[in-house]
Amino acid sequence: MIAALMCGGRGTRMNTVIETEKPLLKLKGMTMVERVLRALVGFRQFEKIVAISSLNTPETTVFLRNHYYFSSGLIDVVVTNGISYSKDLSIVVHEFEPSRVFVVSADLPLLNPKIVQDISIRCMPNFPCVSIVLEKLFVERIGLEPSITIVIGNKEYSHSGITILDPSQVNHDGILEEHYIVINKKELAVNVNSTRELEMAEAMLEERN
């Protein structure tokens, strides 16, 4: 399985309050993109880890290519046109076909190797597409407002920003059948798209120490 770290978005929801590209926002002295990479590298089971930057995030591209993980061969860096998240992801998924792809956003700075391992174990290889979700009520109870919600059965869920794809199982319409796994963990709930979520992420890091 290959890990694809998506870090090429414009971060439009935070552009009015930050002076740097969102993946380079720092929490306790470490950038968000580096924190997610540390979780992926720490898992030690990926065939390859690819950071997907774009023309929207040139400073992030420079940061990644100057990082120890890149110079030591632990990660690759791919730069896309950054037209949209879905197009960037499609390019990457098809490039690495037939490998399964663990897709994660750089917005999850609290991710850690143990959670990556838990997700990898629970995502059965026969599923073409598995998205990790949290119960909406769980997210709200820790003081967050879910940005993307879906309805499964009669309950609402919040998307974590992590999806495992198997491009070899795309059907004749070019669609992957999506399955969902519920993992209610604070580390997956804090998807940093606002200053409020950034503050919560910093507070949770404080609690760990």
pLDDT digits (tens, 9 = 90+) for 72-103: 999 999 998 887 877 777 777 777 777 889 99
Q: Which residue has the higher pLDDT, 19 or 178?
A: 178
Domain regions of the chain by residue span: 2-208
Contact between 130 and 179 (Cβ < 8 Å): yes
The pTM score is 0.90
Give Cα 34 distance to the centre of its chain.
12
Q: How far is CA 92 from CA 46, 102, 104, 125, 184, in A?
A: 15, 11, 13, 19, 28
- Percent of the chain residues topping a pLDDT of 70: 91
As a whole number of angstroms, the longest Cα–Cα distance in the chain is: 50
Convert the pLDDT of each residue in 2-24 to its tens digit: 999 999 876 655 554 567 899 99
Q: Name the average pLDDT for the chain.
A: 87
pLDDT of residue 98: 75
Contact between 200 and 143 (Cβ < 8 Å): yes
- Percent of the chain residues topping a pLDDT of 90: 54
Domain 2-208 falls in which CATH fold?
A: Spore Coat Polysaccharide Biosynthesis Protein SpsA; Chain A (3.90.550)
pLDDT of residue 69: 97
Convert the pLDDT of each residue in 111-155 to its tens digit: 999 999 999 988 867 788 899 999 999 999 998 888 778 998 889
